[in-house]
Amino acid sequence: MAFTLPELPWAKDALSPTISAETIDYHYGKHHKAYVDNLNKFAAGTKYESMSLEDVIKASAGQPSEKKIFNNSAQVWNHTFFWNSLAPKAGGDPKGAIAGAIDKAFGSFADFKTKFSEAAIGQFGSGWAWLVKNTDGSLAIETTPNAETPFATGKRCVLTLDVWEHAYYIDYRNARPKFVEAWWTLVNWDFANKNLA
């Protein structure tokens, strides 16, 4: 069974102008799709082709000889998680259980927002900023380079922000801080609450 490109959870122009339909055309229609196509190409005829996407990531993580499989499978998963971390007319103050969990871990939403933004802006080169739930239940901010994902190390991902240049170059050019600031108006707290539960 081939790996497939999941449908977007909203219309491709639904996040505009914060994230334009043109960015979605490239980021989802070309980059995300290419990870799916490459995963299918590299998995063909190997033990990976019959595994779930999640199992492929776990089985290939940390193994230099499996780098192509890991990079493409993790990027398929990371991007699907990223699209679900976004919603039209979302953002604002966190709602539900995630609000209390953020206060407990970071002191306040304002402090969390500052720390998460600094982490996302400070990630050198391509990568991701994450809100994760550790195995002890506490929340933490992490950044990962390239395709690396906290999911591969057994952590529960709660939210993510893609800070590869392809995520923002059409709409914000080189201004990653502007993209990070804008991201807060699209954060899907319902998705965060589902991941926290």
CB of 35 to Mn ion, least distance (A): 9
Output the CA torsion sign for 23, 24, 26, 28: positive
- 183 is a contact residue toward Mn ion (CB under 5 A): no
Phi, psi of 140 (to 5 degrees): -150, 155
Minimum separation from the CB atom of position 13 to Mn ion (A)? 18
Stretch that binds Mn ion, among 111-119, 128-136, 140-148, 162-170 (CB under 5 A): 162-170
User: For tokens 């990371």, what's the residue?
Assistant: 78
What is the total count of residues that contact Mn ion (CB under 5 A)? Answer: 2
Is 83 a binding residue for Mn ion by CB under 5 A? The answer is no
By the rule CB under 5 A, 171 interacts with Mn ion: no
Task: Give the nearest distance from C-beta 101 to Mn ion in angstroms.
Answer: 26
- Pick one of 3, 164, 172, 189: the residue that binds Mn ion (CB under 5 A): 164
CB of 166 to Mn ion, least distance (A): 5
**Which region, judged by CB under 5 A, interacts with Mn ion, from 94-102, 104-112, 118-126, 160-168?**
160-168
Smallest distance, Å, CB 31 to Mn ion?
5
Half-sphere exposure of 42 (CA within 13 A, CB side): 17
162 binds Mn ion (CB under 5 A): yes
Which residues make up the interface to Mn ion (CB under 5 A)? 162, 164
